[in-house]
């Protein structure tokens, strides 16, 4: 089922898109967004007969220690209406790269026996695309395991009297036959139909270079005393070249924690993503574990005309919401991928917490020890709710509000409107004065000629 989600497994883990995460696998301040798991089976007839998702938030997170203070456990029952046993491979997000501790998701069957989970990786630039996980290497019209790779590196020894120098590299190539990546993080631009990269030389960055994939690029190197195109000399610049094929090239650079296929496919996706943006180039030094999203993968088996129960538990990482007085945290989860299943039956969402709900995409009923939502079928939209420590909070205007797109847009529009109004008033006043002076000059001129001035 392509990009399908298990609703019970669904609301797990915080998936951080487009931003690095802390060692705790989540961010408590900004950029965190939860997502649900996906089934990799297309057209799967399995149904979610019932799902009960329990959020436990006894305490708010501690940013300094990385403790989330909360967790989520999903209990779900799958039903297979067919006369054949169904085996489905399931993925759900486990956040971004974590330095040190790899948090293991807890997945068990209905009897409490743990199920084996495997850690998979996809390039974060493509977003939450679970179908990017593949057992085979990505092959397309440009990249294959045998694609030629050329690495040209430069070193520069500036004269003793030179305080600062910039190494400038101009590359000519056909983008349909060549792709480019750079060492380090040079300033890159397109000038005169060539890609130009500029590095500042010095003891902290003595090496520079580029990688060409496919046909080799033509390079012209020069040195200047500033970032402009005014070349001083190329004297003191030495170069070296290494060649390989893509499969071997990537395997030599693969981190131990990422599988060979995931690492290879992530690189191909990264290069294609940059290429799709136009003249955007990959900095190979920064292509590492932090360039990937992590997924837990396991196999779900549902017997013919039978049922299977799974329980999934994971720590819960929220986003700080500074829009209220007092501590408040926002929790967000994607529900829509559950539409990929054949059907969704009874859904129950519980929030066990001593805190108060401020905002929510669903209408929860307050009860003893927390809140509850029940419905037959899958709600439209996604799940989000904000918990706070005060029962009757007031909204406050903070710097955090400026980071919200709608708030920023409204502020910009207001500033533009005020600016236009002021400009109109200034122009109107100026035009009125000019017209008055012109009329006075015309009156004086008419009187000199012996004519009556105009009314």
Q: Do 335 and 415 reside in the same domain of the chain? A: no
Q: Judge whether 377 lies within some domain.
A: yes
Q: Are residues 435 and 350 in the same domain?
A: no
240 and 356 within one domain: no
In a domain, 62, yes or no: yes
Residue 329, strand partner residues? 320, 387
Cα separation, 263 vs 288, whole angstroms: 9
Domain span including residue 117: 12-138+291-388
Residue 143 lies in a domain: no
Question: Taking a C-beta distance cutoff of 8 angstroms, is the pair 323, 26 a contact?
Answer: no
The pTM of this model reads 0.69
Residues 20 and 133 in one domain: yes
Q: Which residues contact 208 (CB under 8 A, 6 or more apart)?
A: 153, 154, 155, 156, 167, 169, 183, 184, 186, 199, 201
Q: Give CA–CA dist 293/299, Å, rounded.
A: 20
One domain, residues 132 and 155: no
* Same domain? 226 vs 185: yes
126 and 41, same structural domain? yes
272 CB neighbour count, 10 Å cutoff: 18
Q: Whole-angstrom Cα distance, residue 134 to residue 337? A: 19
Listed residue (98, 134, 15, 32) closest to 289, CA to CA: 98
| Total domains, the chain | 3
**Among 388, 414, 431, residue at a domain's last position:** 388
Contact 81, 377 (CB under 8 A): no
Residue 270 lies in a domain: no
In a domain, 397, yes or no: no
Separation CA 118–CA 107 (nearest Å): 11
Residue 355 falls inside a structural domain: yes
Per-residue pLDDT of the chain (455 residues; tens, 9 = 90+): 433 333 333 333 332 232 222 223 344 544 344 455 677 777 888 888 998 989 999 998 876 666 777 888 888 899 999 999 999 888 877 766 654 445 556 788 878 888 888 889 999 888 767 778 888 998 888 999 999 999 999 887 766 666 678 888 899 999 889 999 998 888 888 888 899 888 887 655 556 899 999 999 999 988 887 766 666 666 778 889 999 999 999 999 999 889 999 999 999 999 998 888 776 778 888 888 888 988 888 888 999 999 999 888 877 778 888 888 888 998 877 777 677 778 889 999 999 999 999 989 999 999 999 999 999 998 888 888 999 999 888 887 655 444 455 556 667 777 888 878 777 877 777 777 766 666 666 555 544 434 434 44
Residue 191 and residue 133 share a domain: no
Same domain, 156 and 177: yes
Q: What are phi and psi of 198, to 5 degrees?
A: -125, 125
Residues 152 and 128 in one domain: no
* 245, 317: one domain: no
Q: What is the DSSP letter of 364?
A: P
- The reply to whether 1 falls in a domain is no
Angle between helices 246-253 and 260-276 (to 10 degrees): 110
For residue 167, being part of any structural domain is answered with yes
Is residue 16 located within the same domain as residue 134? yes
């Amino acid at each position: 089922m392509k990009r399908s989600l298990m609703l019970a497994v669904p609301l797990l883990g915080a998936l951080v898109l487009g931003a690095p995460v802390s060692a705790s696998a989540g961010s408590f301040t900004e950029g965190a967004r939860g997502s649900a798991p996906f089934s990799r089976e297309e057209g799967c007839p399995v149904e979610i007969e019932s799902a009960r998702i329990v959020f436990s938030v006894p305490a708010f997170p501690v940013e300094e220690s990385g403790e989330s203070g909360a967790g989520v456990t999903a209990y779900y029952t799958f039903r297979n209406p067919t006369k054949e046993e169904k085996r489905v491979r399931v993925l759900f997000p486990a956040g971004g790269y974590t330095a040190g501790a790899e948090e293991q998701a807890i997945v068990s069957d209905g009897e409490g026996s743990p199920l084996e989970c495997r850690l998979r990786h996809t390039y974060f630039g493509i977003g939450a695309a679970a179908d990017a996980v593949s057992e085979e290497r990505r092959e397309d019209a440009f990249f294959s395991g045998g694609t030629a790779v050329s690495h040209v590196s430069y070193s520069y020894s500036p004269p003793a009297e030179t305080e600062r120098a910039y190494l400038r590299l101009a590359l000519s190539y056909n983008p349909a036959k060549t792709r480019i990546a750079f060492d380090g993080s040079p300033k890159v631009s397109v000038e005169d139909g060539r890609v130009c990269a500029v590095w500042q030389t010095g003891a902290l960055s003595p090496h520079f270079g580029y990688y060409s994939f496919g046909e080799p690029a033509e390079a012209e190197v020069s040195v200047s005393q500033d970032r402009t195109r005014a070349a001083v000399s190329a004297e003191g610049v030495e170069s070296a070249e290494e060649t390989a094929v893509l499969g071997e090239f990537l395997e030599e650079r693969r981190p131990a924690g990422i599988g060979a296929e995931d690492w290879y496919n992530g690189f191909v996706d990264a290069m294609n993503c940059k290429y799709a943006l136009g003249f955007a180039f990959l900095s190979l030094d920064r292509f590492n574990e932090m360039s990937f999203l992590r997924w837990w993968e396991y196999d779900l088996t549902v017997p013919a005309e039978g049922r299977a129960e799974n329980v999934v538990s994971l720590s819960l990482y929220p986003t700080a919401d500074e829009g209220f007085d007092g501590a408040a945290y926002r929790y967000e989860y994607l529900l829509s991928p559950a539409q990929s299943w054949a059907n969704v039956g009874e859904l129950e969402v519980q929030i066990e917490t001593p805190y108060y709900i401020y905002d929510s995409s669903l209408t929860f009923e307050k009860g003893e020890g927390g809140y509850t939502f029940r419905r037959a079928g899958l709600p439209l939209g996604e799940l989000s709710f904000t918990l706070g420590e005060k029962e009757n909070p007031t909204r406050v205007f903070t710097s955090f509000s400026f980071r919200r797109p709608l708030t920023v847009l409204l502020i910009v529009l207001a500033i533009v409107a005020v600016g236009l109004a002021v400009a109109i008033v200034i122009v109107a006043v100026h035009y009125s004065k000019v017209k008055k002076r012109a009329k006075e000059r015309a009156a004086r001129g008419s009187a000199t000629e012996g004519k009556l001035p105009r009314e």
